[in-house]
Amino acid sequence: MNSLSLNCAFVRQVLTGFIANEVRKTGFSRIVVGLSGGVDSALSAYLGAEALGAENVWALLMPYRTSSPESRKHAELVVKQLRIQSDVIEITPMVDAYFERFPESDHVRRGNKMARERMTVLFDHSAMLKALVLGTSNKTELLLGYGTLYGDMASAINPLGDLYKTQVRQLARYMGIPEVIVGKAPSGDLWVGQTDEAELGFTYEEVDRILYSMIDRRCEISELLAAGFDEQSVRAVLAKIQASQYKRRLPLIAKISARTIDRDFRYPRDWGK
């Protein structure tokens, strides 16, 4: 048995229920999602459309001048398949205006800026459309810290955050997302030729198996090695999780008062809902 395989019918029901329930609780009825052309945002959009109806889903395509035309084509395919409303907002003028002052910036800074530019566009549309921003980060990215803090990691609710990348692909195929989107090499498309797996140094299949054992099954490092996992990969994965812990938490607050937010002032987000 492949331990990462999913009962897709049930997971689909849980996740569409999650979107419908958590969106309506906030008093909203719509969502807005940034479509990159990749499988994660496609799956979020599909789940959103099923949960709330196509008429309640807004997709934003936010290409930069170096973004691959194929990405745009794939995002448009999702829009067409789902019959959701969409808009294309080029982020090139905003990003380039900023980097005119910092021409020496490397591709990491530029990539982060693009991700955060898209975030501001999404949250502005959230206010404009009275729509919650639907997240698209999967569990693999979140655990490895492979995302931009306050950029693509920002959302109001995220249906994918507890699904590993390989599980996202499985559910995406089950939901009927076109194979050109599901089967292509994952990429942030932040610079030409970027692929996730080259950048991370693992394939998603490899890293998901390690993460599943380490996180979900609580295996100790010694047990992972005994089970035949490559030591260097296991240690590299653990180091990435540890180094990116800050990205998964709110900013640290210096404690002064008798009651500090999130330490001894603890309320659920769904308070009163």
Partner 1 sequence: MSRQTIAIAQINPALGDLERNLALHEKTAEEALDRGAGLLVFPELSLTGYFLKDIVSSVALPMTSPLFGRLRDLSRRIDLVVGLVEESAGHLFYNTAVYLTMGEILHVHRKLYLPTYGIFDEQRYLAEGGRIRTFRTRIGRSAILICEDMWHPSAACVASIDGMEILISPAASPGRGGLEEGESFANARAWETINRAYAQLFTCYVLFANRVGYEDGACFWGGSEVIGPSGKPVAKAAYLSEEVLIAEIDPAEVRRARTANPLLRDERLNVTLHELERVRRERVE
Kind of pairing between the strands at 131-133 and 57-61: unpaired
**Rule CB under 8 A: is residue 31 a binding residue for partner 1?**
no
**Rule CB under 8 A: is residue 270 a binding residue for partner 1?**
yes
User: How big is the CA angle at 137 (ends 198 and 94), to the nearest 5 degrees?
Assistant: 85
Q: From the list 99, 102, 150, 265, which residue makes contact with partner 1 (rule: CB under 8 A)?
A: 265
Closest CB to partner 1 among residues 25, 109: 25
Largest interatomic CA distance in the chain = 55
Q: How far is the CB of 272 from partner 1 (least distance, A)?
A: 5
Closest CB to partner 1 among residues 101, 266: 266
Closest CB to partner 1 among residues 18, 123: 18
**Rule CB under 8 A: is residue 6 a binding residue for partner 1?**
yes
Residue 163: closest CA among 179, 134, 140: 140
**Rule CB under 8 A: is residue 258 a binding residue for partner 1?**
no
**Rule CB under 8 A: is residue 5 a binding residue for partner 1?**
yes
Instruction: Give phi and psi for 83, each to the nearest 5.
Output: 55, 45
Q: How far is the CB of 232 from partner 1 (least distance, A)?
A: 27
The span from the CA of 97 to the CA of 119, in Å, is 17
Binding to partner 1 (CB under 8 A) within 141-180 occurs at 157
Residue with tokens 């502005």: 124
The span from the CA of 67 to the CA of 30, in Å, is 28
Roughly how many angstroms between the first and final C-alpha of the chain, as a whole number? 40
**Rule CB under 8 A: is residue 7 a binding residue for partner 1?**
yes
**By the criterion CB under 8 A, which residues form the site for partner 1?**
1-7, 10-11, 13-14, 17-18, 21-22, 157, 216, 265-273
